[in-house]
Structure 1
Amino acid sequence: MQQAEQFYTSVPAALHPLLERNLARIEDALSGLDTPPEALNTQLARVLVGSDYVAEQLQRHPEWLAELLSSGDLQQAYADSAYAERLQALLSEITDEKELHRQLRLFRQREMVRLIWRDLNRLSDMRGTTRELSRLADACIDRTLDWLYDQACQRWGVPHSRPDADGQRHPQRMVVLGMGKLGADELNLSSDIDLIFSFPANGETDGERKNLDNQDFFIRLGQKLIQALDNQTVDGFVFRVDMRLRPFGSAGPLACSFAAMEGYYQDQGRDWERYAMIKARVVAGDKAAGAELVQLLRPFVYRKYIDFSAFESLRDMKAMINREVRRKGLDQNVKLGAGGIREVEFIAQAFQLIRGGRDAELQQRELLNILPQLPEKVGMPTEAVTELTEAYTFLRNVEHGIQAIADKQTQELPADDEGRARLAFAQGYADWEALAQELDSSRAAVSRHFADVIAPAEEDEAGPEDLRTEWLALWQGMMDDAAAQAFLQEQGYNEPSVALKALQDLKGLRTVQVLQKVALERLEAVLPPLLEQAGQCDNPEVTLERVLVLVQAVLRRSAYFVLLAENPAALKQLVRLCSASAWFAEQLAKQPVLLDELIDPRTLYAPPNQTELRTELRQQLLRIPEDDIEQLMETLRYFKHAHMLRVAASDITGVLPLMRVSDYLTWLAEAVLEAVLEIAWRNLTEKHGTPQKSAGVPCDPDFIIVGYGKVGGIELSYGSDLDLVFLHDAAANLETDGDRPIANSVFFNRLGQRIIHILNTFTPSGILYEVDMRLRPSGNSGLLVSSLSAFRDYQQKDAWTWEHQALVRARVVAGSPALAERFQAVREEILARPRDEDQLRSEVVEMREKMRKHLGSKPADDAPAVFNLKQDRGGIVDIEFMVQYLVLRYAQERPGMMRWTDNIRILASIEHEGLLASNEVELLREAYKAYRAAGHRQTLQNRSGVLGEEAMREYREDVSAIWQRLLGH
């Protein structure tokens, strides 16, 4: 062994006996080498200390060392297809099943030597090792299945489906799903492989002697595949195969049809099976049919709603694992013990199960692709994700080090001194203490983050267990009415009889009485804190009524109760905001999915700016297939409702002033309109091609959406509809350039119809916006979409004065920037027309009188007088008409007055031009803001814009006085 002295220099003295033993085992392998390269010294020493398995394989196959070195396989990663190609070459000439087993095992052992060598010497990082191991398993399963399928077909015939409607029978092949770490491309050095066998359809084989049912055929084929991979022979095994994840577990058939798979998961699938199915991947067999199977099962895994019940089920699974850890003494297990690999997996998969149905980017199998998304998707701190990623990578490397020793499926840290020393050395640490310190630090970080995400929700400080018990006793009817009312009064309810009746009415609902046990438990988990928080509000009975409407709305979707129970802060926000706003409560009852928006106050009370809104919506729509119009419409609606809810929350709590609320609501509408235009344009151009601006010059898109009224004036409120006009600038006598061309005019008319359809259609999530198109040229009798030139002609020749008034508040909110500039030029041309002052004044006053007569308040004789904020004398419209009158009267000589479309900034221009005194402008500005603020408050309480007759009296009188002086009526 004199030659071997060179191998000892890099190894701690305590490990020299171990190294000497393994060097002796590979003496033949070393003797077959030419002078070993210097780089081999430390690499081989680390492998021989870290892996008895490698030493054993090189002892049994000494030629492998020279071959691995000369081929360069130790120094480079394989391409994804390399294992399959190499194995196919080995198996192509084999006709004997026994030889198949032998060649598979030799192939696997040789590649395992290579992979362990590369992993221990960090020639491959953890992800590289796990991916290659997964590709090795894929190749072994797929190539073996192909070989066995051919043999089975020769023996029993080819399986076919039953005849279809055309009488055709289609050949069938097996689909193999890889689950767990194999499915996620995360296989470890000595992992078993979790498989599920399926086939597309029932039928039978076309054998010459006897036909087999397809299920019988594929069960036999599956048994052969398991034997080929799992059986222990003199050459070892290929992969240990675990089939317990299949439907009905060990009691279920080894293979079943797609229909049986779908039926099982739809009717009987359990929470832990959803967790397992996240990682499912087609690893062998009919890949195209397998993709169909995965799509069939996707709704079982990923719910369309935000599914916070995942926390509960994952917590239950973790508790079960913890009991197993304690029972078997697995606290030193780097996978199952506290702070181990499994806890990192649970954190990532919890958010996948919760949000994956709404966010396709979370529908991935590999954990390290999920963790980086969590800061953006769920608000997890970036530092936490970094710690989890580093800890997971470290623990997986340690796991590999443990398994490399003897190719055993274990994650237990060694307890003996030599085992600890060799693991530390193999992982690159000076000694066991250094490795143990890193282990403790990593596991502590994982435990901390796991507790933050999945550990039981902390008891609400204000709701101790005895108080919770009393709430439940009241709910369950264990208190008599007198005691119940006394308790409710103690808890802050001013009219306890009203509150008690509301609870009793809820309990008496048929829906509540037939709730399944799990749903009832979830309801009873969230009712005590809800009732307690409502009692602390200024209007407890009103708040309770609003909250219970929401409770009733989600009785059949009890995952929302879990969301609130898991997030006490969100529950408090819910009660607080429902207390302040009937509108807010109504929106949540209509769209419970919006409850998710309450969880993170950082986003709830910080609506994004205009650019961020557009970017966020664009990113959400990019995740939806372009041809899935239904899903695009649902995504648009959720986006609009969610952001409107955020704005309302900021409005209710005073975080945003009135003007900023309107800004955000207007920006939201603009972002939606831009997206809707893009969807409608893409949909139509795919069918008919692009309309032509001029011969050979396509429109891009030479179409604009003009906003009038509140959207044009940047003054949208919560219930506002959108006053829109559609304009294009394409040649009337040309047509689109597609395979199915249509006239430009027809194209743009359909484009307008498509936009309105997307905005107005009532879906399960409601509508986007009500659209009013009456301000287009000639109103309801006019074309839905006009050319800009036709719009200009109409405004010059046929438009009424009130239509020019409306143009004061018109601006482009979506579409072609170039056409928007041309529209602005037409707008200014029309607004700056010379006008007779007396005629203008007369027409403005006449229109205002008509509006007051038809739209103003008309209380009955015996009813108290009221004030309509918008339409009554001295109200909002009076201010708007004065502003519009001054713009139309003076725009020709003072063009700066045409710059803005919102009343506040136009008033500033009026003051700058000296058309009204500063004190008058200030009064109009303050009155206008006060009216609009009152209107917002009324909307948030689901009330009309009508106040008591004494409301705003001083403002009304002052506005009326200015009206009288300016317009003389």
Structure 2
Amino acid sequence: MPAAFSNEALRQNPYLSDLAERFPNSETLEGLHSRLATAEAEDLPQIKGQFSLGFARTHFQDFDDMGRTWTVFADATIDRALQLAWQIVGKRHKLVLPETSVPGLFILGLGKLGGFDLNFSSDIDLIAFYDAETLPVPAHKGQAYIASEVCKRLTQILQPRNAPDFVWRVDWRLRPESSGTGLAISSAKAETFYFFRSLPWHRLALMKARVVAGDVEAGQALLNRLEPFIWRRNLDFTTLDELAALKTRINNEHPGLETERAAPDPITDAAVGFNLKLGRGGIREIEFIANAQQLIHGGKRPDLRVTNTRAALSNLAQTELITQQDADELRAHYAYFRKVENAVQMFRNEQTHIIPDGDANVAMRALIGDPENFDKEISTRRQEVHARFSTLFRDNAQTEKTTNLSTLDEHATLIARSWTRGFQDHGVPATSRHKYQELGHNLVARVQRLDRPDAFERIDSFLKQLGRSEQYFALLSRHPDLLDKLVSPLLHSPHMSEILAQSPHIIDIFLSPEDSELREQSEFVLTSPDYEHRLEALRRFVNEQLFLNYTHFLDGKTTARGLQQKLTDIAEETLTLSLRIVADDLEVESIPMTILGLGKMGTRAMGPKSDLDLIFLFADDCDPDLAAKAVRRMRTTLTTKLREGIAYELDTRLRPSGRSGPPAVKLSAFHDHHMNRAHSWEHIALAPARIVGGDEVLGSKVMAIKKEILTRPRDTAAFKADAYVMFQRLAEERLKETPPDIWRTKLRRGGLMEADYIHACFDVLAVKPPTELAPIMENWNESIIWERLLGLTGKPVSETPARFAQKISIETLPQLWAEQDKMIKELTAKFFADQKMSKSPAPGPVIWRKP
């Protein structure tokens, strides 16, 4: 309905015809909108009437433009009415208030008002809150009482009693605890209610909420704090059941659906009597299709957090949660039904959604162009909408499947029976267990095939620790292929089991697009402005990405080197996010810091359970207090243990002067230390270092200093002597002679640590390492991944899980390790051939060679 209605069509509609007689010289929509700024309460109904007439005569660019125009006008009228209500109530209570807006009180618009999608004769769903700290009402006068009185006065202005005209019908019933509270409550009480006492429909209502009047800043701050309630990070498929239950309740109780309930087949060939909003295959079903996917996936995908229904459908297609064809057709059906709905409501400016008969039907058809195939058009569109709705909101019927449990022992049998009976021992309500019986049978069958005596106990123990078990079972029931992602880690990987214990719902990461960039997958971390929420989200991001990439490695989808690079990318992205969190917390635009990564971070060879060896460097002109605060906050951001664990262990002992040195290192101090006081071992540690985050310009200066340090001529003999002392210390305190059939990749003589050390020694001397060193290090790096993922350290090769034996090639592993041990020892002995086997004196600072 973008096109303006013809004069003939307007004359057939009593309400529009009356407006045309009353306002023969009506102003433009823009002019009427501008009058609201100074309008008095008695002016608003007249302005609304003229706007309604002008709206019907206007040629809009498209359907969405029409809805936005109507809604923006509604926002302005509500805001002006709120200002007027404040002045009236404030004067009565002798409050000193600003002439226009008053801080602290704000109105949220829900439903179609929140979605910039108002009908011609919509009511407006409002909820009101106030910020107790900024509301200019003394506590002894009763803030809640006065704020609610303002809202009552606003309602009277917009919908005056016994008056022929009104501005908007106002509905406050969606507010928290509407039967027991005033029209306005404090933001603090609202947060408590939504997080701890709300019902599913409250969350559905708030997903379309936006500030439409009053203190916009205070209102947006509350919505930001409510984000974790509305947009949950976990994929919560119980949302489908909750929305389906809500739809069923509407169908059963709404008086406008009596005809449909009585019909044996609700979708008939006749359009008359169809409830466009609530009827089967109508507007509400399209909204539920969009809303359900938004609520399920919006926590992970911020692009879905839109209030407009047609925009939500478009974004769902862009994220591939629905097909582009489905999105296009649903958008078209929605626009068509809304066009008809608006035409129905224009007849007498009534809030009706039922296609009428008689004169009203003739008038409605005139407004929409009187299509000859109108009945068929409505029926076809309804059938297409309802087919998609039924597919999404399918119910899992009780399964008749049986599983043979005769091969299980008594304890495993008890567990298996609980699973196949809908997880009856796991907190699932009796009314919901039938939905998860098929899932239980699938899980039992998978575990039976594993031939692991402890399998049932391990998996059952994990399932019983879940906080919201039904939500988890709903996820697995909708996506049973996720069982494989869950079972194998719980049985074979202590490290992955630990991650699952901290963040059980991270398995839904496998439902995200595989080709999305890491930066896209991390966007959710910063969506909330709350510091603590960001820290929790950061840990969730790390756990998700680690688990995802570990699984890909175990499944053979990525190589050992590929996994190392992925794990390094995750760590770097985490540092980038942490810098942003710290900057926002310190209320600065950016942190003038660059981060130098050493060890495995420097060589892009991060492995499972790797910590971060970092040095935090600042420009010389940086405020010392800011630098110190930034490093402390970075440590907190990364290492503080929260519900989902830590992000990373952090090691900064390689900074100048080690533990005793300042955590925030100035660039000049870094240069001076390495040129004048550093020991050779510090340059060995510096050899693989690179910039892994922060200020790029400052980072380039750091790398220039590193190049200067490593290319400056040094006393080779003195360096080897110092390096040998350090190696002896490593061999005595860390390295251990290990049989070739035992898993100990890093800390064995001839193992990974020794290989890394000798490689760095070659780098410091600018000598090309022997060609055989690189493949040995590659093999050791792959071995340590398997060792840490499967918890094999110190165990015989024979205890490697059979499932992975072929991938690891355990038959040839001992021989390979023995050969590598020998070769690394030979390389080390050759490098230090000129050194005495007895202990050398403690090394001093680097000895530079004179030019």
**TM-score computed with the length of structure 1 as normaliser:** 0.70
Q: What's 1:866 paired with?
A: 742
1:269-289, CA deviations, whole angstroms, 9 ceiling, x for partnerless residues?
Answer: 322233234344565677787
Counting only pairs closer than 5 Å after superposition, residues 801-820 of structure 1 correspond to structure 2 as 801-820=680-699
Which position in structure 2 is the counterpart of 1:779? Answer: 658
Closer, same or farther: CA 709–146 of 1 in aligned 2, 3 Å? closer
Query: Residues 335-356 of structure 1: CA distance to partner in whole angstroms, max 9, x if unpaired?
Result: 2223321122213322444455
Give 2:813's match in structure 1, choosing from 945, 952, 962.
952
Q: Which moved more, 1:560-569 or 1:176-185?
A: 176-185
1:641 aligns with 2:543: yes
The Cα of 1:313 is off from its aligned counterpart by: 0.7
Deviations 1:583-642 (A, max 9, x none): 323212211242331324x33xx5x5xxx434654x4455343xx433333332222222
Aligned twin of 2:845: none
Conservation of the 8 A alpha-carbon contact between 1:159 and 1:173 = no
The answer to whether structure 1 residue 274 and structure 2 residue 203 are counterparts is yes
The answer on 1:82 being equivalent to 2:34 is yes
**Cα gap change, 1:852/1:538 in structure 2, threshold over 3 Å: closer, same or farther?**
farther
The answer to whether the aligner puts 1:660 opposite 2:562 as a matched pair is: yes
Q: Does 1:426 align with 2:384?
A: no
After superposition, the CA RMSD in angstroms is 4.7
Match of 1:456 among 389, 394, 402: 394
Q: Secondary structure at the match of 2:405?
A: helix
Q: Is the 8 A contact 1:175 1:282 kept in 2?
A: yes
Q: Does the alignment pair 1:499 with 2:412?
A: yes
1:44 alignment partner AA: N
* Superposition pairs of residues 478-517 of structure 1, within 5 angstroms: 487-489=404-406, 496-497=409-410, 499-500=412-413, 515=427, 517=429
Match of 2:760 in 1: 884
Secondary structure of the corresponding residue to residue 868 of structure 1: coil
Matching of residue 190 in structure 1 with residue 121 in structure 2: yes
Q: Distance in 1 between matches of 2:241 and 2:307?
A: 21
Query: In structure 1, what is the Cα distance between the partners aligned to 2:56 and 2:707?
Result: 76
CA contact 1:717–1:936 (8 Å) conserved in 2: yes
2:499 partner SS: helix
Q: 1:545 and 1:663, CA in 2 relative to 1: closer, same or farther beyond 3 A?
A: farther
Aligned-residue offset at 1:43:
2.9
Distance across 2 between alignment mates of 1:261 and 1:957: 66
CA separation in 2, counterparts of 1:830 and 1:272?
Answer: 64
2:7 is matched with: 44
* DSSP 3-state at the match of 2:6: helix
Task: Decide which of 622, 636, 651 is 1:757's aligned counterpart.
Answer: 636
The alpha-carbon distance between structure 1 residues 574 and 79, as it changes in their structure 2 partners (threshold 3 A), is farther
Aligned counterpart for 1:727 among listed residues 570, 594, 617: 617
Q: Does 1:405 align with 2:367?
A: no
Match of 1:483 in 2: none
Distance 1:683 1:148 in 2: 38
1:474 match: none
Q: Distance in 2 between matches of 1:505 and 1:447?
A: 36
Equivalent in the alignment of 2:790: 941
Rounded Cα–Cα distance in structure 2 between residues aligned with 1:873 and 1:148: 81
- Are 1:403 and 1:410, in contact at CA under 8 Å, matched by a contact in 2? yes
In structure 2, how many angstroms separate the alpha carbons of the residues matched to 1:199 and 1:789?
Answer: 52
Residue 719 of structure 1, CA deviation: 0.3
What residue is the counterpart of 2:751 in the other structure?
875
Give distance in 2, aligned partners of 1:245 and 1:681: 38
Question: Which of these residues, 246, 258, 261, is aligned with residue 327 of structure 1?
Answer: 261
Report deviation, 1:311: 1.8
- C-alpha distance in 1, partners of 2:527/2:130? 30
Where do 5+ consecutive residues of structure 1 fail to align? Answer: 1-38, 92-99, 162-170, 472-486, 691-699, 737-741, 892-896, 898-906, 912-920
What is the CA distance between 1:558 and its match in structure 2?
A: 4.1
Within 2, Cα distance between the matches of 1:173 and 1:786? 44
What is the CA-CA distance between 1:805 and the residue it aligns to?
A: 3.0
Please tell me the residue identity of whatever aligns with 1:640.
V
| Structure 2 CA distance for aligned equivalents of residues 682 and 194 of structure 1 | 34
Q: Counterparts of 1:541-940 in structure 2 under 5 Å? A: 541-556=453-468, 558-576=470-488, 578-579=490-491, 581-600=493-512, 602-603=513-514, 606=515, 612-614=517-519, 617=522, 619-620=523-524, 623-625=527-529, 628-680=530-582, 686=588, 701=592, 703-730=593-620, 736=622, 742-743=623-624, 747-832=626-711, 844=723, 847-857=726-736, 866-889=742-765, 891=767, 897=768, 910-911=770-771, 921=772, 924-940=773-789
What's 1:53 paired with? Answer: 15
Deviation at 1:397, TM superposition (A): 1.5
Amino acid at match of 1:456: R
Residues 751 and 820 in structure 2, CA contact (< 8 A), matched pair in contact too: yes
TM-score (structure 2 length as normaliser): 0.78
1:414-467 alpha-carbon deviations (Å, 9 max, x no partner): 566x876764553347x321x555545544553344345x412667xxxx7123
> What SS is found at the alignment partner of 2:30?
coil
Cα distance in 1 for partners of 2:190, 2:581 equals: 36
* Alpha-carbon contact 2:596-2:614 (below 8 Å) kept: yes
Letter in 1 for 2:747: Q
Which amino acid in structure 2 is aligned with residue 111 of structure 1?
F
Matched with 1:697 is none
Equivalent residues of 1:176, 1:198 under 8 A apart: yes
Q: Aligned partners of 1:80 and 1:521: how far apart in 2?
A: 58
Give the aligned partner of residue 130 of structure 1: 67
Contact 1:729 1:788 in 2 (8 A): yes
Tell me which amino acid in the other structure corresponds to 2:482: A
- Residues 741 and 814 of structure 2 are in contact (CA less than 8 Å); yes or no, is this contact kept in structure 1? no
Residues 45-124 of structure 1: matches in 2 within 5 Å?
45-48=8-11, 51-58=13-20, 61=22, 64-65=23-24, 67-68=25-26, 71=27, 73=28, 77-78=29-30, 81-82=33-34, 84-85=36-37, 87-88=39-40, 91=41, 100=42, 106-118=46-58, 122-123=59-60
Distance in 1 (CA, whole Å) between partners of 2:145 and 2:572 is 60
Structure 2 counterpart of 1:455, one-letter code: F
Residue correspondence of structure 1 range 90-489 to structure 2 within 5 A: 91=41, 100=42, 106-118=46-58, 122-123=59-60, 125-135=62-72, 137=74, 157-158=92-93, 178-195=109-126, 235=164, 238-246=167-175, 252=180, 255=183, 257-258=185-186, 268-280=197-209, 301=230, 306-323=235-252, 325=257, 326-327=260-261, 331=267, 332-354=274-296, 364-375=306-317, 379-414=321-356, 423-428=364-369, 431-433=371-373, 435-436=374-375, 438-440=377-379, 442-452=381-391, 454-456=392-394, 465-467=399-401, 487-489=404-406
Q: Deviations over 1:372-407 (max 9, x none)?
A: 433566744444333333332222122112222333
Distance 1:640 1:267 in 2: 28
Residues 677-709 of structure 1: per-residue CA shift (max 9 Å, x gap): 4544565684xx99xxxxxxxxx93x4322221
- Of the two, which has the highest radius of gyration? 1
Give the distance between the partners of 2:322 and 2:469, measured in 1 at CA.
Answer: 26
Give distance in 1, aligned partners of 2:796 and 2:578.
37
Deviation (angstroms), 1:222? 6.9
Larger RCO of the pair (alpha carbons < 8 Å, separation 6+):
2
Instruction: Give the match for residue 270 of structure 2.
Output: none
1:322-374 C-alpha deviation (Å, 9 max, x unpaired): 44643265643322223321122213322444455677665553334434433
Identity percentage of aligned residues: 27
The code of the aligned residue for 1:488 comes to: L
Would the aligned equivalents of 2:151 and 2:184 in 1 still touch at CA under 8 Å?
no
Q: Aligned residue pairs: how many? A: 791
Distance 2:696 2:572 in 1: 14
Give the aligned partner of residue 480 of structure 1: none
Contact 1:662 1:716 (C-alpha < 8 Å) held by counterparts: yes
Q: Does 1:535 align with 2:440?
A: no
**For residues 151 and 838 of structure 1, what CA distance do their matches in structure 2 show?**
90
**1:710 to partner: Cα distance:** 0.9
Partner of 1:962: 823
**Aligned-pair distance for 1:321?**
3.5
Measure, in 1, the Cα distance between the counterparts of 2:676 and 2:145. Answer: 82
Secondary structure of 2:500's match?
A: helix
**SS of alignment partner, residue 548 of structure 1:** helix
More helix per residue: 1
Q: Distance in 2 between matches of 1:783 and 1:153?
A: 57
- Tell me the equivalent position of 1:10: none
